[in-house]
Structure 1
Amino acid sequence: MSVYKNVFYAGAALAAASLFTSVAFAGPLVNQLGYYPEAEKSVVYPGNDANGLEVRDLNGKTVLKLDAPDVYDWDYSGEEVQTFDISAVKTPGTYRLFRGGAYVGNPITVGNNVYEDLVKASLKWFYYQRASMPLLPQYAGKWARAAGHMDDKVIIYGSDKVTGGKGAGKVINSARGWYDAGDYGKYIVNSGITVFTLLEIYEHFPKYMDSLTWNIPREFPKYPELLEEIRYNLDWMLTLQDKDGGVYHKVTTLKFGGSVLPEDDVAPRYAIIKNMPASLDFAAVMAQASVVYRNIDKAYADKMLKAAESAYAWAKKNPKAIYKQPDDVQTGGYVPGDENGKDEFRWAAAELYRAKAVAGVKTDKAAAGYLKDLKGNPFTANGAWWGDVNMLAAFRVALDSADFDKDLVAAAKKTVMNEANNLRAVGDTSAYRLPAFPWSWNWGSNSAMANNGMVLVHAYLLTGDKSYLDGAQQCLDYLLGKNPMDITYVTGFGYRSPRNPHHRPSESDLVDDPVPGMLVGGPHLGKQDINLDGKEHWKCPNYAAADKPALAYIDNRCSYATNEVAINWNAPLAYLAAALEAIYSK
């Protein structure tokens, strides 16, 4: 074993030990960034003693005094905990918690704009994920880097001798776009739900988003800054549409590259296999984007709507074209769990029908076809993630009800509200006050918590009922420190945050601090990266010895299963934080 590997494993062991020590001797667990005055505020205290809780201001004055609450078990961590509701503290300021007369934990902030820096950082991170351009110091600061992956000569998979073809290989220009996660691949399926979520931020909170700036280069100065960033990825997505309308799945190397800077990852890049789900995700996002951009760039909006209709038509002609990962390709699969594409057709039809209505051609033959397809493909109860986009269709129909008939709208609202009510019921009774289902504890569990928060925000937008906003707050609280690890899961934020994410630019840039604003994947029991056989190789030590999903996390770059980052994880974090900021700052 090399010296470097000894250091690597020692660091992993130390990280695991420090995190589990913090669990064993945890104090109060709170949102480490703070709360708006009118927000629900809860403090989770591990243990079962009889001490109450005092909240004091910095002058030592007691502003709230609470008796010890009941003790609850939380199966996901194996803890007994007590939860204190301190929502009565509404005056802006900094407060400290006391228990048994002793000061415990870190100060708590109550005030305005408590999440604005988080919103800007979580969105600025997409700039740091840009391919095909240098990140200049005036925008990227100490994380400046040279351009990587110009992607102007991407090989069509199967057209060259390396991947089974007979020739030198057909090439396309597939520049721009965001790196998907901790690696350097660019994927249509994951870009789909990511761009949808970012566009939802702008659609729901345009006035708030127009007020923000986070220092990115401006190609289109008339665009709002968020739409400038999103276009960088939309432009890339357009490059993967073939002349027949079908869309390639991804642009990657054949195997994952090492932990190097983008400029040093020089293996050939391939556009890999047109398929139905990718084409439909593309169609849905292009249709949605055509609506959002129509008032600021009609030509671009028309281009996207045309591309969306072409992709949908290709998918209709090729309904069995499901992506199958070739044997010689080892990069991310992003293969949906089903093979019928019903959820992708549902989402794309909803977005296309609305886009046609907004473009003033709601009554043409194509629009009628989208509506017919949507009516014949009922909503399911499934929540939103890249592998099932049913809820995205329900969001669209429920919140844009003027564009759809009343029966569709009623079905969509029922879908959203049932999910929201189930989440809120769990949050109201959970020891940690966390609206999460058992299946939320999977790869990317933190994104599941953020997506749950998105559902609850949509329910609030539909009803105006603050209880749903309180549930969304609890989802964000968990991500920002009210969790058994006592950390925020966002790099650069809070009193304790991840320092060693699985993210190749942060691993290889010789900068101690990771790029800020990244939501790491979070704990779960998948253990895909754990060294279970005891042999020396590049897998993590067994950090999940407690065998509880909320504890199965390690802050080490080896842990691609719990500490990687991804664009579809950051997007719902940004949505959730921006929603609370926009709603409470009105």
Structure 2
Amino acid sequence: MNFSKSAFFAGAASVAVSFSSAFAGPLVNQLGFAPDAEKIVVYPGSDANGLEVRDLNGKTVLKLKAPMVYDWEYSGEEVQTFDISAVKKPGTYRLFRGKEYVGTPIVVGKNVYDDLVKASLKWFYYQRASMPLEPQYAGKWARAAGHKDNRVIVYGTDKATGGKGNGQVIKSDRGWYDAGDYGKYIVNSGITVFTLLEIYENFPKYADSLTWNIPREFPKYPELLEEVRYNLDWMLTMQDKDGGVYHKVSTLRFSGSVLPENDKDARYAIIKNVTATLDFAAVMAQASVVYKNIDKAYSDKILKAAEDAYAWAKMHPQQFYKQPADVQTGSYAPGDENGKDEFRWAAAELYRATKKQYYQDDLKQNLFTPDGAWWGNVNMLAAFRVALDSADFDKELVAAAKKTVLNEANNLRAVGDTSAYRLPAFPWSWNWGSNSAMANNGMVLVHAYLLTKDKSYLDGAQQCLDYLLGKNPQDMTYVTGFGYRSPRNPHHRPSESDMVDDPVPGMLVGGPHLGKQDINLDGKENWKCPNYAAADKPALAYIDNRCSYATNEVAINWNAPLAYLAAALEAIYNK
């Protein structure tokens, strides 16, 4: 995600080999399953023995013959896949093969992901800028306030960035640090806030029930909306008087591995542009609907901000962000940007919020494409909105939106049904932040389930979460603090510098891929990682080392779909 480079990586512990290759044990969701969920066990190798599932009293509750052996192209492994979904009685079970106990216990029961949901959401509190994290809320990860951002320089107005004066200054406090670095980025905040608000919109009863010990500024809000508002309030500070929105607040280059309070470089609000402005417009319009019944004054305020932003974007449709040469923090600007997906999403959200016909007219002139969701393409977010809020939109738009969602879900389901690992993943899912791609794939499948009530989509979503929680070639969860084996050395400046052995729990690391951006291939830059991708297999290309900003960084837009996916399965199976 963020192409960040820290100065100090020497001596960090690492895991550069596949656990499954070393131990050849069963690979399974390490947190467990709801009674009615699909339950898949992947076993590397070609053993002729079957699989037994026994309860803790030693009673065999399920016996399966050895299945066929399949190759998984993404790891180069031969594997066998066992379906133990017939085990529905709540309890703890063990797997036996050839009369030998293998792997780790498997839990079946209610609320197996509840703690994960809360931790993945509480992590946003740990990412807060501009305030101290006090021990009664943060525990051993308490820290002083960093980046008060009460004097942020508008880029290009001071002499250091090419201006003639001392610099125009704005106040841009609050908000979440974006990832392992200390920047705050509008584009990434947009899709992140959408995803968190989608938890509330899709599963309001479950969302209302969640509490996870954060300071309460708005005690009448559900805690999820309290946390989201902390970032919305920052986003509001990024809108200029003319309606345009700055791209990001950051220093000119990434800091080293220091605590937030020790990052003292000047902070800049960098360049208004159309994509940041439209992402802002979309999420403010969405939020205005969500907050309307609990805080009408705030809802009205953010809806006006959304409409002002959309009007600015219509006047500046080609004003795209271009990273200045003296800025080296995350760009969040894909090379093929045309703004159509951002206009699509903003128009959909604003029409729902206002019922003003010209927003729907704009959407009709800019119909959905087949693209899935990530920060660089928010087309699917517009499709989600129109498909699920069908009463608000014209029938032809609703039909097109549903087709977009269901086509993507059907393609994912077809892959999941035939994959050796039972993972609904496309070849392009193996990119920077591959774990978020798996979570976003799961989110598509959940939305298909919400539209159709077809459980096969829910099974596909379960497969995505299973991969993130242990059913992968590393035999580990990719979430700090959860499961039997989890990341210990994320690329995350607070974790690198806080002198606490345990990383903050609930962080989803980026995951394996073959980009190799942080690997010391030429031997000239000794701060880079060892070659953890020597096998040239994307599912194996991962290292649990703080050096790996390409595979082991964390980010708000990765945690949000993890929280959504786990919350969805909790809410649906335990209602």
Q: Same fold (TM over 0.5)?
A: yes
Residues 28-64 of structure 1, C-alpha deviation per residue, up to 9 Å, x if partnerless? 0000000000000010000012110000000000000
2:322 is aligned, of 313, 324, 330, to 324
**What is the aligned partner in structure 1 of residue 507 from structure 2?**
518
1:15 deviation in Å? 2.5
Q: 1:378: how far off?
A: 1.0
> Which residue of structure 2 lines up, in the alignment, with residue 156 of structure 1?
154
Secondary structure, counterpart of 1:107 in structure 2? strand
- Spell out, residue by residue over 1:136-156, the C-alpha distance to the aligned partner (whole angstroms, 9 max, x if none): 000000000000000000000
Report the counterpart of residue 576 of structure 1 in structure 2: 565
C-alpha distance in 1 between matches for 2:123 and 2:209: 18
How far did residue 536 of structure 1 move?
A: 4.5
- Equivalent residue runs for 1:336-351 within 5 Å: 336-351=334-349
Matches of 1:91 and 1:380, distance apart in 2: 43
- Partner-residue secondary structure (3-state), 1:387: coil
The alignment's C-alpha RMSD in Å is 1.2
Measure, in 2, the Cα distance between the counterparts of 1:573 and 1:266. 32
* Residue aligned with 2:103, SS: strand
Equivalent in the alignment of 1:36 = 34
Residue of 50, 62, 65 corresponding to 2:63 = 65
Counterpart in 1 of 2:278? 280
* Counterpart-to-counterpart distance in 1, 2:443 and 2:364: 25
AA at the equivalent of 1:509: D
Q: Which amino acid aligns with 2:248?
A: K
Q: Residue 185 of structure 2 is aligned with which of 176, 187, 193?
A: 187
For residues 433 and 169 of structure 1, do their structure 2 counterparts lie closer, same or farther at Cα, with a shift above 3 Å needed? Answer: same
Are the equivalent residues in 2 in contact too, given 1:120–1:212 (CA < 8 A)? yes
2:229 to 221, 228, 231: 231
Distance 1:487 1:380 in 2: 35
Identity of aligned residues (%): 86
SS of corresponding position for 1:15: coil
- Matching residue's letter, 1:60: G
8 Å CA contact 2:371–2:379 kept in 1: the answer is: yes
* Distance change (3 Å), C-alpha of 1:536 and 1:319: closer
- Contact 1:337 / 1:387 at 8 angstroms: preserved in 2? no
- Give the corresponding residue for 2:169: 171
Q: Name the CA distance, whole Å, in 2 between partners of 1:477 and 1:239.
A: 39
Aligned amino acid, residue 57 of structure 1: D
How far off its partner does 1:26 sit?
2.3
Matching of residue 501 in structure 1 with residue 490 in structure 2: yes
CA drift at 1:334: 0.1
Number of the residue aligned with 2:470: 481
Code of the aligned partner of 2:427: P
Contact 1:500 1:514 in 2 (8 A): yes
Equivalent in the alignment of 2:104 = 106
Partner AA of 2:390 in structure 1: S
Equivalent residues of 1:29, 1:486 under 8 A apart? yes
Distance 1:97 1:485 in 2: 19
State the AA in 2 paired with 1:308: A
Structure 1 counterpart of 2:495, which letter?
S
Matching residue of 1:395 = 384
Q: 1-side partners of 2:496 and 2:22: how far apart? A: 29
| CA deviation after TM superposition for structure 1 residue 385, in Å | 0.2
Identify the residue that residue 3 of structure 2 maps to in structure 1: none
Alpha-carbon offset, residue 8 of structure 1? 5.0
Q: Which residue of 1 aligns with 2:129?
A: 131
Instruction: Report the Cα distance in structure 2 between the residues aligned to 1:480 and 1:47, rounded to whole angstroms.
Output: 21
Q: Hey, what does 1:311 align to over in structure 2?
A: 309
The offset of 1:212, in angstroms, is 1.3
How many Å apart are 1:9 and its aligned residue? Answer: 4.8
Q: 1:270 aligns with which of 257, 268, 271?
A: 268
Corresponding letter in the other structure for 2:553: E
Letter in 2 for 1:414: K
Q: 1:222 to 1:254 in 2, by over 3 A?
A: same
Equivalence for 2:430: 441
Contact 1:26 1:486 in 2 (8 A): no
Q: In structure 1, what is the Cα distance between the partners aligned to 2:337 and 2:438? A: 26
Aligned-residue offset at 1:275: 0.1
Report the AA paired with residue 353 of structure 2.
A
* Deviation by residue 1:275-310 (Cα, 9 ceiling, x = unmatched): 000000000000000000000000000001100000
Moved over 6 A (4+): none
Give, in whole Å, the separation in 1 of the partners of 2:542 and 2:188: 23
| 1:299 partner letter | A
TM-superposition CA deviations, 1:455-496 (whole Å, max 9, x none): 000000000000000000000000000000000000000000
> Which residue, out of 199, 202, 219, partners 2:200?
202
Cα shift at 1:10: 5.3
Match of 1:532 in 2: 521
Relative contact order, higher structure (CA 8 A, sep 6+) = 2
Query: Gapped runs of 5+ residues in structure 1?
Result: 357-361
One-letter amino acid matched to 2:535: A
Q: CA deviation at 1:534?
A: 1.5
Given that 2:18 and 2:475 are in contact with CA atoms closer than 8 Å, whether structure 1 keeps it comes out as no
> Which residue is 1:296 aligned to?
294
Query: 3-state DSSP class of the match of 2:15?
Result: helix
Contact 2:177 2:184 in 1 (8 A): yes
**In the TM superposition, what is the alpha-carbon distance from 1:23 to its structure 2 partner?**
2.3
Q: Distance in 2 between matches of 1:153 and 1:106?
A: 52
SS at 2:67 equivalent: coil
Give the structure 1 partner of residue 458 of structure 2.
469
Distance in 2 (alpha carbons) for counterparts of 1:15 and 1:304: 45
Aligned mate of 1:555, from 523, 532, 544: 544
Shift of 1:209: 1.1
Superposed displacement of residue 339, structure 1: 3.0
Tell me the residue number matched to 2:15: 15
The alpha-carbon deviation at position 340 of structure 1 amounts to 1.9
Alignment correspondent of 1:457: 446
The 1-side partners of 2:165 and 2:9 are apart by 43
1:535 Cα shift? 2.5
* 1:162 aligned counterpart, secondary structure: helix
Match of 2:397 in 1: 408
The equivalent of 1:242 in structure 2 is 240
* CA distance in 1: counterparts of 2:23 and 2:158, whole angstroms: 58
Match of 1:422 among 378, 394, 411: 411
Asked whether the equivalents of residues 201 and 290 of structure 2 are also in contact (C-alpha less than 8 Å), the reply is: yes
Counterpart Cα distance in 1 of 2:403 and 2:489: 42
Query: Within 5 A, what are the aligned runs for 1:85-124?
Result: 85-124=83-122
Partner AA of 2:486 in structure 1? S
Tell me, which stretches of 5 or more residues in structure 2 are unaligned?
A: 1-5
Change beyond 3 A, Cα 1:256–1:10:
closer
Q: Secondary structure at the match of 1:431?
A: coil
Structure 2 residue matching 1:419: 3-state secondary structure: helix
Distance 1:191 1:340 in 2: 20
CA–CA distance in structure 1, aligned partners of residues 54 and 187 of structure 2: 49
The alignment status of 1:255 with 2:253, answered yes or no, reads yes
Alpha-carbon contact 1:23-1:486 (below 8 Å) kept: no
Task: Provide the rounded CA distance (Å) in 2 between the counterparts of 1:425 and 1:209.
Answer: 31
What do residues 514-554 of structure 1 show as CA deviations (whole Å, max 9, x unaligned)?
00000000000000000001234211010111110000000
**Mean alpha-carbon deviation: is it higher for 412-421 or for 533-542?**
533-542
